[in-house]
Amino acid sequence: MKILITGSNGLLGQKLVHLLAQKADIQLVATSRGGNRLAFKDGYEYQEMDITNAEQVTEVIAKNRPDTIIHTAAMTNVDQCEGEKDLCWAMNVKALEYLTEACEKHNVFLCHLSTDFVFDGEAGPYSEDDKPSPISFYGWSKYAAEEVVKRSKCSWAIVRTVLVYGIVEDMSRSNIILWVKNSLEAQKPIKVVTDQLRTPTLAEDLAMGCWLIVKQKADGIFHISGKDFLSPYEMAIKTADFFQLDKSLISQVDSSNFTQPAKRPPRTGFILDKAISVLGYNPVSFEEGIAILAEQMK
């Protein structure tokens, strides 16, 4: 099987390259904008591809003729999307139009990454059958992207996920676990919200979920996330407990304490029954996820 990944420099992209490059029966092409940021180079080929450049997308896919594309590249900074709507639309929606066109032409299976932010967060956790109702421009762009995929004539799967955490090779990205650990180690008090609920997702679990879909060519929408339904405050407490740090530095606040350009859905998180029964998906607990990150940090 020949698989092409978009956004291979990103967190999920890196985890997918690590996972799939080890599989002897897979020919892997990793693509991203700019040079390859992965330290290891074995088991795959890297090619530059800017998803907002229609000509380049057409050219790279025609040249490589993959059986499957796993599309992870997107603009995901929720507040930046609110402030730079044209760029957000170009990256999250227009790029999908170029990709689906190429997939239709070359009979490619498209596995597209989406988000819990397509929901308004009034009634989570959500199943695949629940109706999207975004409340931020980022959410709207990802919902519009899903519609582009659904309208296309290629075979497809949409993978929605929630609050992905993990470590990239150069440690250039933070996440809630690293932020809490670093703050408490520096004896710095932190305020963490209690009125948002999520099912945080280990990046390795998400990569495995994508692979299970691609391997089975399972079509339709799948919710792939962690299994623990937690507030950021509860995640912070679990992190402090794991690293045996001072929990008294963590104070509870609600989201009205923070002014952010984009609205956040209060209560998302996913029901994983479909992914578990159809795919055999089996995510780690949040505590197990912390332990995995702790090991990687060594």
List all residues 6 or more positions away from 119 whose beta carbon is below 8 Å from its beta carbon. 126, 130, 132, 133, 134, 139, 265, 268
* pLDDT tens-digit map of 248-294: 999 999 998 888 999 999 999 999 999 999 999 999 999 999 999 99
pLDDT at residue 172 in the model = 76
The architecture CATH gives domain 2-166+200-227+268-285? 3-Layer(aba) Sandwich (3.40)
Q: Which residue, chain included where needed, has tokens 């959410």? A: 139
pLDDT at residue 173 in the model = 79
pTM: 0.98
Dmax over Cα atoms in the chain, in whole Å?
58
Domain spans, the chain: 2-166+200-227+268-285
* pLDDT tens-digit map of 103-142: 999 999 999 999 999 999 999 999 999 999 999 999 999 9
Instruction: Note if the bond before 125 is cis, omega within 30 degrees.
Output: yes
Q: Which residue, chain included where needed, has tokens 């792939």? A: 224
* pLDDT tens-digit map of 32-81: 999 999 999 999 999 999 999 999 999 999 999 999 999 999 999 999 99
